Chains A and B, each alone.
Chain A
Amino acid sequence: MKNSIEKAIFTNHFKDVGDIYQRIYFGNEFCENLIPTLGLMKSWVSFAKLKNKELTFVTPFVTNLGIEKLKYLLAFLNKQKSCEVVFNDWGVFKLIRDNFINITPVLGRLLSRQRRDPRLIDIINGRQKIREVYSPKEQEKFVILPKKIPSSLANYYRTCVLGVSAFQQFILSCGINRVEIDNLVWKMRLKLNKRLKVSIYVPFGYVSTTRSCGKLTLTYKPCQKECKDYFIRLGSESLLSNVYAIGNTVFYKNAEPSVGYLKDLGIDRVIYQPRLPF
């Protein structure tokens, strides 16, 4: 139906895929160790066909090792009738563009370069709080009074590089017709060329990522796939109760946006993550 919003589910579990979703996203955006095997990829392709769903394969930022892993998977997808691939690395885009003409490239949320730290909400909305800090060293109390920010700064955080016309023209000229964003915790503004389609991820948005996942899992050791065992909810305060560290990445959880808000932003696809996307 024209103007309707497509519903996609981002999961690595077959059981999550319900009837309400028209499209399945699978893969990982943050870790090349989690790039699926060809066997698993084939299972997802068969599953999507069986369930009559469209399929989108999500790829991470990668070293050359990841590029090598992806070559085989993309070659397989290239032979399918149609398949979207979300790229979060310009090297992966080049790989697709130069070799796999049947694949539809989608610019992933890591490349939309939104500023996402949920702490910014108070600054953007001009609601910084007066704080008092005691310095034992100087035996002095400091009252910290918020500095006012210019409106241009708040506007900066509401948009991102995707709004720049030269960039939009460039990606369109590259055959990229879809871009993806996170649902920020403050009101966003997005002005895009009508030929560009936009997807939004809910309810989890990413804040930051690392290749030293041991620093986030607090093991300080190389990866043992702790991302499959546990995650950390950062705190009980209202803001932090919605911030999570899992594997190598920090996420925030946001409330579900209204359909009206999504339509105002020009969004035509919602990617629902039933769990932290790992």
Chain B
Amino acid sequence: MIICTLVLCKNVLNMKKGCFNILAPFSAIHDVQVLKDAGVDELYCGYITEDLKNKWPLAFNILNRRGEGSSFDNYAVFKEAISQAYKYNLPVYLTLNGLYTSQQYPLLLSLVNNIQSLPGIKGIIVADIGLLLYLKKSKFKKEIHISTIAGCFNSLTADFYKELGANRVILDRQLTVEEIKDIISRIKSDIDIEILIIRENCGGFIDSLCTFLHCSEQLELNTETIKKNVSLIKAYDTEICDLGCEFYFKKLANGNFETFDSLTELSKPMNLKYDRDKHHGFGCRICDLYDLKEYPIKSLKIVGRGKSSQEISKFVKLLLRVLNNLKQADISKSEFQSKCKALFSKVAFNGKKMCSNFDCYFSNSLVKNEK
């Protein structure tokens, strides 16, 4: 399943020939077979040791960005899953995209040291320059990918990470298709490019620059019944707001609108109100593939921490059909995008509604650049 594209643009002629691999998440041994059968080319996952998660609970998304229940935490199981993937010739990238402090490094580097011997692990996805520097210093032999949490918005940043020893950079999702094309065209190094392609949009903020508490807890409901119709739940975040930013978004519409000079309250301009659907759209940029088909993008990442392999497979199959449509020599942009929207509606919304601009990772209609 790989569509290899010839690079036609003059200014990208010196870059590698591009291939769209499909990269998908997994979190259990049986996921590997399911995703292989669906047609993925590469896999990514989390693995965190008991020692690490006891000190920095997974719910806080500190060790990686996967939350509770989405990372392997048993080495034997993890190793078995990796060897399955290796057997099927599916490279696995380990997500270590936290931002780490000094206290975390001894346990973190011990984990890295342990997984280095696994041939199925092809590389590590990092967000922290400190970890990247440690990996290079310790002569880490596998690939290093720069997570979207590191924030790459321009070609110079991509080249900067290449200088530090990275092999691949994942571009920020809040970039327009024109901006992505421009970044790829101007990159001077041979760093590989990956983009997020579908599933799981953020509420509206930039992954790398958001510092909201995003407590991804798995709550145990009905753990203890105190009395009839009253149950006890234990939680880190007693607000129980599974989307960190949503807590704030909900408050926005009831906030006080103020001007700078007088600090007096304004009547809400233009009757503005919070619309949840416009913040938490599905997350997708498959329509952009028409414009990106000539660009050397190595991999298309399906987002979806903790989702079942059956759920992820639906999107792998959707992507395969999209890429198949892209192969048609005479397909126009509007025809391609209509097909994308129909496919998306069927898979994401069971055909019950069509997508809107707010389901796009980043739509041209939401940004205005002043030239």
Contacts and interface: CB of A to CB of B under 8 A. Distances in A.
Interface stretch (B32-40, B305-313, B362-370): B362-370
B213 A64 contact: no
A143 B369 contact: no
A139 B229 contact: yes
Interface string B235-258: 111111000110110011111111
Contacts of B156: 67, 90-92, 94-95
Nearest to A140: B229
A253 B206 CA distance: 21
B238 A156 contact: no
Interface of A: 32-33, 61-67, 89-95, 110, 113-117, 119-120, 123, 128-131, 133, 139-147, 149-150, 152-153, 155-156, 159-161, 163-167, 170, 191, 206-212, 214-223, 229-236, 240, 243, 245, 250, 275-276
Contacts of B137: 166
B155 A110 contact: no
Nearest to B54: A150
A159 B104 CA distance: 12
B11 interface: no
Interface of B: 54-57, 60, 62, 99-105, 128-130, 133-134, 137, 151-161, 163, 174-175, 179, 182-183, 186, 204-206, 209-213, 221, 226, 229-240, 244-245, 247-248, 251-260, 266, 269-270, 272-275, 278-279, 358, 362, 365-371
Given A64-B179, A234-B251, A131 B226 contact: no
A245 B250 CA distance: 12
A216 B204 contact: yes
A100 B232 CA distance: 61
A215 B204 contact: yes
A208 B203 CA distance: 11
> Which label, helix, strand, loop or mixed, suits the secondary structure of the A interface?
mixed
B236 A152 contact: no
Contact of B365 (A62, A67, A139, A222): A222
Contact of B101 (A159, A206, A230): A159
A97 to B, nearest CB: 9
Given A143-B232, A150-B54, A152-B56, A218 B133 contact: no
Contacts of A120: 213
B238 A245 contact: no
Contacts of B130: 161, 164, 166-167, 170
Given A131-B240, A147-B234, A160-B99, 8 more contacts: A63-B183, A94-B159, A115-B99, A128-B237, A140-B229, A166-B134, A208-B209, A209-B210
